[in-house]
């Protein structure tokens, strides 16, 4: 099987090419949506036990008490949340930052960089949650054996792990960039 880091790097490169095609001003809008989504999902993850307890006591439903933090449905929830946010960011109302595209190579490099950042945010977040809830993935046979040493190092710098303390500041920074003309 192909190592997971190869798939991850391939997805980041695909997003970089998409960034060049779309231009960096539109890609910044996608970055904002992905950062806001990541902020919401990381806050949900940290408060999940309290939320489940509140729902279980309020609704008095015994099935809620049986849902654990390691349930395979959480992986489905996180994956569909990230993919849904990405789909909305690319296909829905496009947030385009004000300004003009830089000329020639500057514009291409800037678009390439922002597209790669978007790929890092999306593919890295998907990998993070797939790693966190890897039992259902192992049961399906999609993950066999252990990660390679490179993958084990990359897991430490995935977006939810690396950016979690900075997400509120990144949101404020991205909104300020959107407002400034």
Domain ranges of the chain: 4-46+80-179
> CA-based angle 68:123:70, to the nearest 5?
10
Map 124-152 to HEC letters: HHHHHHHHHCHHHHHHHCCCCCCCCHHHH
pTM: 0.85
pLDDT, tens digit, 9 for 90 and up, residues 55-110: 667 766 666 556 665 667 788 888 999 999 999 998 877 788 888 888 889 989 99
């Amino acid at each position: 099987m192909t190592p997971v880091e190869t798939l991850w790097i391939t997805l980041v490169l695909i997003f970089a090419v998409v960034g060049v095609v779309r231009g960096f001003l539109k890609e910044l809008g996608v970055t904002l949506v992905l950062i806001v989504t990541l902020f919401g999902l990381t806050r949900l993850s940290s408060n999940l036990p309290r939320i489940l307890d509140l729902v279980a006591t309020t609704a008095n439903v015994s099935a809620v008490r049986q849902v654990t933090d390691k349930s395979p449905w959480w992986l489905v929830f996180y994956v569909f949340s990230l993919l849904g946010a990405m789909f909305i960011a690319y296909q829905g109302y496009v947030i385009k930052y004000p300004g003009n595209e830089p000329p020639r190579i500057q514009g291409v490099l800037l678009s390439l960089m922002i597209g790669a950042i978007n790929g890092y945010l999306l593919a890295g977040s998907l990998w993070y949650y797939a790693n966190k809830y890897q039992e259902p993935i192992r049961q399906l046979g999609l993950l066999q054996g252990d990660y390679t040493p490179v993958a084990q190092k990359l897991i430490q710098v995935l977006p939810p792990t690396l950016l979690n303390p900075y997400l509120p500041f990144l949101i404020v920074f991205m909104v300020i960039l959107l407002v400034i003309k």
